[in-house]
Amino acid sequence: MQTPKKVTRDSEASRARILDAAKIRFSQNSYDGVGVREIAADANLDPAMVLRYFGSKENLFREIASQAFEVEALLADGIEALPERAASLLMGEVDDDAWRSGYDPLRLLLASIGSVTAGPILSEYLHRDFIAPLVKAIGGREARERGALVAAQIVGFALIRVAGDSSEGALPRRKSLKQLLVKVLEDLSRAR
């Protein structure tokens, strides 16, 4: 018989467990299909604790959404490195602890963008934390349009990967696909 895990009363750890559980729940189900009780059970806490730390399911979702679209890693080496870095991430060549844990920001977006409550929250953070930094990094003429197109390419490609064939495919095909993606992203992100 397994001994139950000892749960400490560390508020920082409890808050982190709630966030981790909610990230996975919200990336697997729509905002409207997830309940505070399920999140609390996954975090091994009482539902009242979720409300104590976040006030409401909406506030909890808002905090998760505020971290979902950070583009800093893609822009860490400047806009010139973005095409290769983004293509490597999208092709699954980058080891990502968050995605391995079951959390996927793209699935979070897809699952809840149609929600009356969650949709506007996701839209706000997608624009503020993903598209706006791309626009700023691209600069030059038509930066807004090109930033939006780069974001659309990245999100669209990720969507096809999520919804499409999950098999690895032939390596030459994958290499060719990555090269094409890099070329498209380079063209869109180059300042004019």
pLDDT tens digit sequence for 101-156: 567 888 899 899 999 999 999 999 999 999 999 999 999 999 999 999 999 999 88
Round the CA-based radius of gyration of the chain to a whole number and report it: 19
Helix boundaries (H) for 3-131: 11-28, 36-43, 47-54, 57-68, 72-75, 82-90, 97-100, 105-112, 118-126
pLDDT at 137: 95
Kindly tell me if the per-residue pLDDT of 89 is higher than 90. Answer: no
CA 57 from chain centre, in angstroms, equals: 19
Average of per-residue pLDDT across 54-60: 98
Average of per-residue pLDDT across 39-47: 98
pLDDT at 170: 42
Please, what are the domains in the chain?
11-66 (1.10.10.60), 69-189 (no CATH)
